[in-house]
Structure 1
């Protein structure tokens, strides 16, 4: 443990120190190559102009290089692999895409992803909105928000391990340590292996992501609610509107843009969901999703680069239009800045 902590501190020190050294050194070098001091006449103005053109690239240049190496190149390479065979050596055209839409497991993954898309963004957004409204009305609202937001700090794998104890099942005659089975047993029901129930296990897995992401939705929507003019709410009260009418007819319409952004952000996350399924069921019992299926084809069973890359491209194509819409909506919310 101590060695890991020391390693983490060293990485932070070297990373931050390296960035500071780079920007300081790059700016110094630029001043040496195109000096503006000690130079007279038009040469000083020309050098300042050159510095103004080059200096921004000193800051965004490393980011563009990293983006190209770790994002753009992998996307292009994955697209090429999707048209190749298992070993990624021979061109097979659209054979992998034809296989994907004809494969039963792929269709089951699509169905499960659609279930996640229908339930998780709606549940997170709805719960986040309700909690944001309610916690603004109570004196201990800040404490409640902190507790609800806390799961967001936990990794998906860590959250899955926690929920494994919630759904834990022990054999017949043994003491049930899983919270859910203990409750069921207390009320006279029979304990179940909840995550092995086909179809329904998808919803048990969704609960984990809802538990994590509700805090995110709550924080964003709470900020939006505080931006509603108090005069509007006071006028509604004077006109005789009840709390329910104020909520649905005044508050929700005024933050609809923020609700849409939260919804689509969580939708993008759901399309890429992987860790929870891998940790809880590994795609067994008809709980497979696209990202987990891609991992299986790409890295397991000998690896099939063509089919794994094909599923990755399909996930990207599903995410891309939602992401573009989300960015445009966010730009509208900020006035295009």
Structure 2
């Protein structure tokens, strides 16, 4: 049974927090009516924003500041280390490999998902089998990343030539007379194989977003293009694509952030071996295996700095699409 203290804490949180917010808003409303004009302009907007700013400070700003502080400490967080952990980031070969792989994830996952999503959205738009075709692409998004990685680990399974191949892909290759491929071991194929799993599991997200944006394109624009003599490709290039550009930009930035956070697939399928490490997997290993809190925090700061420009671009693209 759940202890009584936990039940009381849950009740206090679920009931007390909404009541506290409502009480704060009521108080701000009363203050707004009595404050002088000079204070009204400077103070009241911040008072209205306080219920949102406080959680941001507690759950985002403070952990971020604490992570930066820990990145300047030693492995056990007991002594000052200065910039030693950042020197490790700048000189370590495993960090450089992880950064290179994250760049591959950024380019191939984002580009692959956008290409598949846009292709499916355009080709299945207003056809009878649209729902079935889109469901086939979207269905993998309902599968947890760990489960999807396990499925594809069996798909990529490799046995030496001459032995029965239990992996689906290698069974097909050997049936066609080709040699089996060590998909997850061979450094020429393993990163691409991992990213292909990510595309398989994330393309449905891009398909849903781009399909919704495609249906919002005014039909009058296509009719005007056809009247002007534009063919299907010209109509897509000069009418559809410009209308979809803000949505593509937002979707691309969200996929790019997912690429930087890639962890589940790599951890389950290779655990970073065979030069497949990524930043998130390296941070996990430093924190939970090596128990080096300083280096793990420095890697977390690096990951935040890498993702920050993408988040800024996402905010700008979102603001631009709403104008």
Query: What is the TM-score of this pair, normalised by structure 1?
Result: 0.82
> Partners of 1:75 and 1:26 in 2: how far apart?
25
Map Cα deviations across residues 59-88 of structure 1 (whole Å, 9 max, x no partner). Answer: 973x65554443322211110111111111
For the 8 Å contact 2:25–2:48, the answer to whether it is kept is no
Q: Aligned match of 1:23 in 18, 26, 50?
A: 18
Map Cα deviations across residues 77-123 of structure 1 (whole Å, 9 max, x no partner). Answer: 11011111111122222121112111111111111111111211111
Asked if residue 127 in structure 1 is aligned to residue 122 in structure 2, the reply is no
- Aligned CA distance change for structure 1 residues 170 and 232 (closer, same or farther; 3 Å): same
Matches within 5 A, 1:1-337: 19=14, 22-23=17-18, 27=22, 49=33, 61=51, 65-301=54-290, 303-335=291-323
Map Cα deviations across residues 293-314 of structure 1 (whole Å, 9 max, x no partner). Answer: 111111113x111111111101
Secondary structure of 2:128's aligned partner: coil
> Partners of 1:26 and 1:323 in 2: how far apart?
28
Cα deviation for residue 238 of structure 1 reads 2.0
Secondary structure of 1:168's aligned partner: coil
Cα deviation for residue 23 of structure 1 reads 3.1
Map Cα deviations across residues 2-53 of structure 1 (whole Å, 9 max, x no partner). Answer: x9xxx9xxx9xx979963575368758998xx8xxxxxxxxxx958958xx9
- Aligned CA distance change for structure 1 residues 328 and 138 (closer, same or farther; 3 Å): same
1:38 aligns with none
For the 8 Å contact 1:23–1:59, the answer to whether it is kept is no
Segment drifting more, 237-246 vs 275-284:
237-246
- Aligned CA distance change for structure 1 residues 134 and 15 (closer, same or farther; 3 Å): farther
- Aligned CA distance change for structure 1 residues 49 and 97 (closer, same or farther; 3 Å): same
> Partners of 1:282 and 1:310 in 2: how far apart?
21
Map Cα deviations across residues 242-283 of structure 1 (whole Å, 9 max, x no partner). Answer: 212211222111211111111111001101111111111000
Secondary structure of 1:189's aligned partner: coil
For the 8 Å contact 1:199–1:287, the answer to whether it is kept is no
Size of the aligned set, in residue pairs, is 308
Any unmatched runs of 5+ in structure 1? 35-44
Cα deviation for residue 328 of structure 1 reads 2.0
- Aligned CA distance change for structure 1 residues 205 and 98 (closer, same or farther; 3 Å): same
Query: What is the TM-score of this pair, normalised by structure 2?
Result: 0.85
C-alpha root-mean-square deviation of aligned residues, in Å? Answer: 2.9
2:38 aligns with none
Cα deviation for residue 175 of structure 1 reads 2.8
> Partners of 2:62 and 2:276 in 1: how far apart?
32
Cα deviation for residue 137 of structure 1 reads 3.6
For the 8 Å contact 1:26–1:58, the answer to whether it is kept is no
Secondary structure of 1:177's aligned partner: coil
> Partners of 1:270 and 1:157 in 2: how far apart?
16
> Partners of 1:64 and 1:140 in 2: how far apart?
47
Any unmatched runs of 5+ in structure 2? 35-42
Cα deviation for residue 169 of structure 1 reads 2.1
